């Protein structure tokens, strides 16, 4: 024992492999009965009626699951509903004057905007009327190319109101990416904005949108939101319409929400494109909305009275499901922040949690590792005691980052839910229920009740506990994607060919394959190891990049690590480690040796890194995922591939230069 209580605490946390949900949390949790797993199992698929019951239906459904044409599963067939009605209208009586969205702009000298449910309802109606004025009809795909401004969720809900599916393209994506997606979806309408703020600078956005439109094969009516005011005057073309004009022309207009079939498309979302060609994932109205609403309630523990904050971008599926549709369907207050966590200072998020008394925070491991790197003094300077639950999504979280989050943000009082899911799954799939299961840092947890998730070998047989295998989902679920837009064939080949009997009409013969590797422990807890293609082959041994990364990030002084395979004449592949140090630590020789020794100890000499490259940053996509493909190119000394979806393209050259120094 040392004299420093903080050191003891760190040591105690370090040794703890499992944490019980805090008692005061369990007492108030939306779900706290462990029997839920058995009940759902005994009652499948009718167990999902409860999720559908969280919504208001215009027409009740006839059938929970129609599995007559696998893998084209359909949910809640015969039912009709409208997503904007569920997110807005039905809350007006009781919560009309409560905040639906608390929007915080990046500039600190600018007024934040609160939209009550009544105000949000009003503007959604006015803009829905404006969209109709432009000619938008049910089933027309409307593309939204916008940063984190309130008009983005308003536009989504306006589209949903009139039955027009939206397709949101990340504002950070290139003009080319916009054009590809608009052409693929044959989208004749675009909603964008003049620009936005990033780390204090006003960035132009409309010019980029116009560049993209130059590559679109058909005419497009474009709506432009004025975010920057006088800071940027964009040129106005003949097909451009000011958002403010459309809304003003429809002041006070109400638009009857269009009843949609449960299986009608709610939106299209192109996956982030970390791997290959973008895929137009189709989500429908009844199943998707039920899924995100139920998981928001059961996993994020959302109550109407909460001030819930998901810090993701709405241009990513997490923002669709867990900033907009799930939280608003539950009538809660959803926080939306425009900027980056380090502007103007590295405590911006904690200042917001403090000022708004946020009750939940849902963020990504990459952000948590950045907070760790910056140091615990930033959260310590604020009162975070309003927080009741913490969540992560997007990547595996290593135990050290998990524990840092648990301790320095949650004060050991908040459960942490590590949620595994994908654009394709619509919502969460593998995670603990925070009021039920114990938490094991580094492991997402068991599949949610009613799901059949297995870890299998190449033949589809369950692997032994603790051994790496492939994650599969062996039964359909309401939030699942229905197809890839206009490409049923690719839908089947991409997700259903690996483990299914594709000639069979029996739904039990169809297995969904998300292309992630994972392992499972004796309690059925699943640790996701990362993408299947993130596996190295060193002298015939298969090594998961994530396991090596996790060992490296466990070394004091290391904030973040990315491991890739570089070509090696003898071994086939060799381990290349790119490492970011924590603030206050020098990237020196002793640290390098410590990293190499730690990997050898944790995994074995076979995993010994060939090179450890210290770098100030890693190439990442907008959703915070490391672009390992680029790091591989660097390791192999090859020309760099496409960097158009990168958040920080310059960094690639810097890293390449430091590899050259080695
Ligand atoms: P693309 O499919 O175009 O390559 P993407 O897979 O990065 O893009 P998303 O759907 O946003 O797009 O990400 C889902 C993937 O993120 C999962 O398949 C998994 O690899 C990873 N992931 C998400 N959450 C977790 C988690 N909690 N633990 C481990 N991995 C996670
Ligand atoms: Mg994916």
What ipTM does the predicted assembly reach?
0.99
How many CA atoms, within 13 angstroms, populate the side-chain half-sphere of residue 234?
29
Mean pLDDT of 49-77: 98
Two tokens at 640? 């760099």
* Domain contains 176: yes
Q: Mind listing the pLDDT tens digit for each residue in 248-268?
A: 999 999 999 999 999 999 999
333 lines ligand 1 (CB under 6 A): no
Rounded to an integer, the average pLDDT of 564-572 is: 85
**Is residue 418 situated within a structural domain?**
no
Task: Tell whether 119 is covered by a domain.
Answer: yes
Lowest-confidence range among 149-153, 154-158, 170-174, 318-322?
Answer: 170-174
Q: Which of 236-245, 342-351, 380-389, 560-569 shows the lowest mean pLDDT across its residues?
A: 560-569
Ligand 1 pocket check for 259: Cβ under 6 Å: no
- Of the pLDDT bands very low, low, confident and very high (cuts 50, 70, 90), residue 195 is very high
Nearest to 393, CA basis, from 431, 356, 426? 431
**Which tokens hold the place of 41?**
């199992």
Most informative mutation of 272, 280, 426 for ligand 1 (most atoms within 8 A of CB)? 272
Residue 93 is assigned to a structural domain of this protein: yes
pLDDT at position 153 is 98
Q: Is 420 in the pocket of ligand 1 (CB under 6 A)?
A: yes
> CB-based contacts of 480: which residues, under 8 Å, 6+ apart?
73, 287, 424, 425, 426, 512
What are the DSSP calls for 176-245, one per residue?
HHHHHHHHHTT--EEEEESEEEETTEEEE-HHHHHHHHHT-SS--EEEEE-SSGGG------TTEEEHHH
State whether residue 403 is helix, strand or coil: helix
Distance, in Å, from the CA atom of 356 to the CA atom of 334, rounded to the nearest integer, reads 11
Residue 201 has pLDDT above 80, yes or no: yes
Q: Of the candidates 525, 371, 357, which has an alpha carbon nearest to the alpha carbon of residue 438?
A: 525
In the listed set 258, 275, 293, which residue is the last one of a domain according to the structure? Answer: 258
Instruction: Tell me which residue has its CA closest to atom 5 in ligand 1.
Output: 272
The bound ligand whose nearest atom lies closest to the alpha carbon of 420 is 1
For 417-440, write each residue's pLDDT tens digit. Answer: 999 999 999 999 999 999 999 999
pLDDT at 4 (0 to 100): 56
**What is the rounded average pLDDT of the residues 449-465?**
93
Q: Regarding predicted confidence, which is higher, 605 or 240?
A: 240
Please tell me which residue, 218 or 15, carries the higher pLDDT value: 218
Size of the chain in residues: 662
Cβ–ligand 1 contact at 394 (below 6 Å): yes
In three state form, how does the secondary structure of 516-557 look?
Answer: EEEEECCCCCEEEEEECCCEEEECCEEEEHHHHHHHHHCCCC
Q: How far is the CA of 81 from the centre of ligand 1 (A)?
A: 30
For a ligand 1 pocket test, name from 170, 173, 271, 628 the mutation site with the most ligand atoms within 8 angstroms of its C-beta: 271
Number of domains in the chain: 2
CB of 528 sitting under 6 A from ligand 1:
yes
38 C-alpha vs ligand 1 centroid, how far in Å? 28
Report yes or no on 277 lying in a domain: no
Does the Cβ of 622 fall within 6 Å of ligand 1? no
Whether residue 430 is contained in a domain is answered as: no
Residue 419 near ligand 1, beta carbon < 6 Å: yes
Ligand 1 geometric centre to CA of 394 (Å): 5
Of the candidates 53, 246, 60, the one whose C-alpha atom is nearest the C-alpha of residue 136 is 246
User: Phi first, then psi: what are they for 428, rounded to 5°?
Assistant: -60, 150
Q: How far apart are CA 329 and CA 145, in angstroms?
A: 24
Q: By residue range, what is the domain housing residue 588?
A: 534-661
Give the model's confidence band at 6: pLDDT under 50 very low, under 70 low, under 90 confident, else very high. Answer: low
Ligand 1 pocket residue status of 546, Cβ below 6 Å: no
Look at residue 628 and tell me whether its pLDDT is greater than 50: yes
Of 3-7, 34-38, 530-534, give the range with the top mean pLDDT. Answer: 34-38
Residues 6+ apart with CB under 8 A from 637: none
Across all residues in the chain, what is the average pLDDT? 92
Best CA proximity match to 194, nearest among 136, 250, 128, 241: 241
Ligand 1 contact via 192 beta carbon (within 6 Å): no
Choice between 400 and 30, residue whose per-residue pLDDT is larger? 30
Pocket test for ligand 1, best of 392, 447, 491, 528 (most atoms within 8 A of CB): 528
Q: Quick one: which ligand is closest to 313's CA?
A: 1
545 lines ligand 1 (CB under 6 A): no
Q: How close is the Cα of 368 to the center of ligand 2, in Å? A: 21
Q: Give residue 662's pLDDT.
A: 44
The CATH number assigned to the domain holding 129 equals 3.40.50.980
Closest ligand relative to 394 C-alpha: 1
Domain holding 567: CATH number? 3.30.300.30
Task: Please tell me the pTM assigned to this model.
Answer: 0.88
Could you tell me if residue 12 is inside a domain?
no
Give the end of a domain, one of 239, 258, 277: 258
How many angstroms separate the alpha carbon of residue 465 from the centre of ligand 2? 25
Q: Work out the average pLDDT over 642-649.
A: 66
Residue 22: other Cβ atoms inside 10 A: 19
Is the distance from CB of 402 to CB of 441 less than 8 angstroms? yes
Give a yes or no: residue 206 inside a domain.
Answer: yes
Pocket test for ligand 1, best of 279, 422, 512 (most atoms within 8 A of CB): 422
Beta-strand relationship, 453-456 and 526-531: unpaired
Domain boundary among 196, 228, 258: 258
């Amino acid at each position: 024992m040392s004299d420093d209580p903080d050191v003891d605490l760190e040591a105690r946390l370090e040794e703890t492999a499992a944490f019980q949900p805090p008692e005061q949390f369990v007492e108030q949790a939306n779900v706290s009965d462990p029997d839920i797993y058995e009940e759902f199992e005994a009652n499948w698929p009718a167990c999902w009626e409860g999720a559908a019951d969280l919504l208001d239906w215009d027409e009740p459904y006839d059938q929970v699951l129609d599995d007559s044409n696998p893998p084209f599963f359909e949910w809640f067939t015969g039912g009709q509903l409208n997503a904007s009605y569920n997110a807005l209208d039905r809350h007006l009586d009781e919560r009309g004057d409560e905040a639906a969205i608390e929007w915080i702009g990046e500039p600190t000298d600018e007024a934040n905007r609160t939209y009550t449910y009544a105000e949000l309802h009003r503007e959604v109606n006015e803009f829905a009327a404006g969209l109709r004025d432009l000619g938008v009809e049910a089933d027309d795909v409307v593309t939204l190319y916008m940063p984190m401004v309130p008009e983005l969720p308003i536009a989504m809900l306006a589209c949903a109101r009139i039955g027009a599916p939206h397709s949101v393209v990340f504002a950070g994506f290139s003009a080319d990416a916009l054009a590809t997606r608009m052409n693929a979806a044959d989208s004749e309408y675009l909603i964008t904005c003049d620009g936005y703020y990033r780390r204090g600078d006003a960035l132009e956005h409309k010019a980029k949108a116009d560049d993209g439109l130059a590559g679109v094969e058909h005419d497009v009516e474009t709506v432009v939101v004025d975010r920057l005011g006088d800071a940027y005057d964009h040129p106005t073309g003949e097909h451009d319409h000011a958002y403010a004009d459309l809304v003003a022309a429809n002041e006070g207009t109400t638009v009857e929400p269009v009843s949609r079939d449960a299986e009608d498309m709610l939106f299209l979302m192109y996956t982030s494109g970390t791997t290959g060609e973008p895929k137009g994932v189709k989500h429908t109205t009844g199943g998707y909305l039920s899924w995100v609403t139920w998981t928001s309630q059961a996993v994020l523990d959302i109550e109407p009275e909460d001030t819930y904050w998901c810090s993701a971008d709405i241009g990513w599926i997490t923002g669709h499901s867990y900033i907009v549709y799930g939280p608003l369907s539950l009538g809660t207050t959803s926080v939306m922040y425009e900027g980056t966590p380090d502007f103007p200072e590295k405590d911006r998020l904690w200042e917001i949690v403090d000022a708004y008394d946020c009750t939940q925070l849902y963020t990504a491991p990459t952000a948590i590792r950045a907070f760790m790197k910056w140091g615990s003094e930033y959260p310590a300077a604020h009162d975070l005691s309003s927080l009741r639950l913490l969540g992560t999504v997007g990547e595996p979280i290593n135990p050290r980052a998990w524990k840092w989050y648990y301790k320095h943000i949650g004060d050991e009082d908040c459960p942490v839910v590590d949620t595994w899911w994908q654009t394709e799954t619509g919502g969460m799939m593998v995670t603990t229920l925070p009021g039920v299961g114990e938490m094991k840092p580094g492991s997402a947890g068991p599949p949610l009740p009613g799901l059949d998730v297995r870890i299998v070998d190449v033949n589809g047989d369950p692997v032994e506990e603790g051994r790496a295998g492939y994650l599969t989902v062996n039964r359909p679920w309401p939030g699942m994607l229905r197809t890839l837009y206009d490409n049923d064939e690719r839908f089947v080949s991409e997700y259903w060919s690996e483990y299914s009997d594709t000639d069979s009409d029996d739904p039990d013969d169809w297995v969904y394959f998300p292309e992630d590797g994972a392992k499972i422990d004796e309690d059925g807890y699943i640790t996701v190891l990362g993408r299947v293609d993130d596996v190295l082959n060193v002298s015939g041994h298969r090594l998961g990049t994530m396991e090596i990364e996790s060992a490296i990030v466990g070394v004091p002084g290391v904030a973040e690590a990315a491991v890739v395979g570089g070509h090696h004449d003898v071994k086939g592949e060799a381990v290349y480690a790119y490492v970011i140090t924590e603030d206050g630590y020098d990237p020196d020789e002793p640290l390098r040796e410590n990293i190499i020794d730690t990997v050898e100890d944790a995994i074995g000499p076979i995993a010994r890194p060939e090179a450890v490259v210290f770098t100030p940053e890693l190439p990442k996509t907008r959703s915070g995922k490391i672009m390992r493909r680029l790091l591989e190119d660097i390791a192999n000394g090859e020309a760099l591939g496409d960097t158009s979806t990168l958040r920080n393209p310059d960094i690639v050259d810097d890293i390449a230069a430091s590899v050259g120094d080695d």
